[in-house]
Amino acid sequence: MNKGLLLVLSGPSGVGKGTVCSVLRKKLPELVYSVSATTRAPRQGEVNGVNYFFKSREQFEDMIARDALLEHAEYVGNYYGTPREFVERTIAEGKDIILEIEVQGALKVKEKFPEGVFIFLLPPSLDELKQRITGRGTESQDIINHRMSVAVEEMNLIQHYDYAVVNDEIDLTCKRIESIIIAEHCRKDRFLEELSHLNAATIEKA
Amino acid sequence: MNKGLLLVLSGPSGVGKGTVCSVLRKKLPELVYSVSATTRAPRQGEVNGVNYFFKSREQFEDMIARDALLEHAEYVGNYYGTPREFVERTIAEGKDIILEIEVQGALKVKEKFPEGVFIFLLPPSLDELKQRITGRGTESQDIINHRMSVAVEEMNLIQHYDYAVVNDEIDLTCKRIESIIIAEHCRKDRFLEELSHLNAATIEKA
């Protein structure tokens, strides 16, 4: 059986990663979504193993020590991370798994999982990104300018990714990501091992 | 404007390259098909520049001397080759062009045009390939065995290709090739130049 792919979907904040993921979820129901581990308390209705793997601080730090996370970070006093085992089990079963993550986290995942497919979501233009960043609230110009410069810095990290997908129209964006999944399954390297079996079988028959 | 892609579709003889191309022609009408040059005489109904570029032997040898062909070969006393200019003009116009060619020819194209996207069409299994090779006529077992060993040799050349597409079901095969085209347009390297313009424009505004 062919192994599945780990798809890492990232991009500057405000580019629409979450929206793309929620539409992909409907369009590609066979795609598995990576579930994060966290030390924050479950909110009403959140289910362990579905929304998050809920862990105590001690359990989480034990996972860090055992290198059981592909990446982790601390926000507002809580840990968040990507459990390696869930990803590895899914792809071993031949299923593709997608991980939505911010740009720095994606680069950490790449260190531990370079065979992943790294997709960078791009705004149609920087003006469009600026609109999305500005349009969120009533922040001061300083805050908006800061967010914008962070976004430009994040965009420069595209060089570490495999693909750049412009998020201009949601259906097109999803079609591009679906195409990347299909094309990656056709990459020659994934077939070479299978082909060697095929040839061995023929040589026996000849 | 983004440049188009040169797609090179190849694979062992008998794998169904021609059928795939004729179905792709209907499904992807915007895809341009590479037109070969030849010294053989036009057959009834063949149009110069559509079916082939018809050349005299002198003209063809002049094209070889000017390095105006991405590859060429001689069969049964006639030259056949892929004019470089038609390919380069098409991709400069931002259109994708596909070249259907046997395995050895594809490798020659790769020497002169390594930025092409090289797709290797695979039979669903070697048994299936054998059936297609055997099923063509009433050839002797020796001829069939020879063809089969050529096909296995050709299959080993897959290592020089970018993609391996199993030709198991024509609609699936075409969807895989369409996905490869869309995914290749999303490859990060094709975006890096555009991104540098984008950043420069932002820095000016800041």
pLDDT attached to residue B194 = 59
Q: DSSP 3-state assignment of B73?
A: strand
Chain B contacts of A126, Cβ < 8 Å?
A: 198-199, 201-202
Token output for B116: 């092409």
Higher-pLDDT residue of B173, B153 = B173
Closest CA to B70 of B10, B113, B119: B113
- In the DSSP assignment, the letter for residue B23 is H
pLDDT attached to residue B143 = 83
**At A78, is the pLDDT very low, low, confident or very high (cuts 50, 70, 90)?**
very high
Q: In chain B, what percentage of residues exceed pLDDT 70? A: 90
Query: What ranges do the domains of chain B cover?
Result: 1-31+96-206, 35-95
**One-letter amino acid for residue A110 of the chain:** K
Interface test with B, best of A198, A199, A203, A204 (most B CBs within 10 A): A198
pLDDT attached to residue A192 = 76
Distance CA B146, CA A17 (A): 54
Kind of pairing between the strands at A163-166 and B6-10: unpaired
Is the model's pLDDT at B51 over the cut of 80? yes
Distances (CA, A) of A43 to A40, A54, A77: 9, 11, 16
pLDDT tens across B12-44, in order? 888 899 999 999 999 999 999 999 999 999 999
Q: DSSP 3-state assignment of A114?
A: coil
Give the ipTM of the model, two decimals please: 0.86
- The answer regarding whether domain A35-95 maps to CATH 3.30.63.10 reads yes
pLDDT tens across A93-114, in order? 999 999 999 999 999 999 999 9
In CATH, what number does B1-31+96-206 get?
A: 3.40.50.300
Whether the domain at A1-31+96-206 and the domain at A35-95 fall into the same CATH topology:
no
pLDDT attached to residue A199 = 53
Helices (H), ranges, chain B: 17-27, 57-65, 84-92, 103-112, 126-134, 141-156, 170-185, 188-205
Q: State whether A159 and B206 contact (CB < 8 Å).
A: no
**At A86, is the pLDDT very low, low, confident or very high (cuts 50, 70, 90)?**
very high
Q: Determine the distance in angstroms separating the CA of A122 from the nearest CA of chain B, rounded to an integer.
A: 10
Distance CA B27, CA B44 (A): 27
Q: State whether A158 and B192 contact (CB < 8 Å).
A: yes
Is the model's pLDDT at A195 over the cut of 60? no
What value does the mean pLDDT take over residues A72-92?
A: 95
Nearest CA in chain B to A160: B188
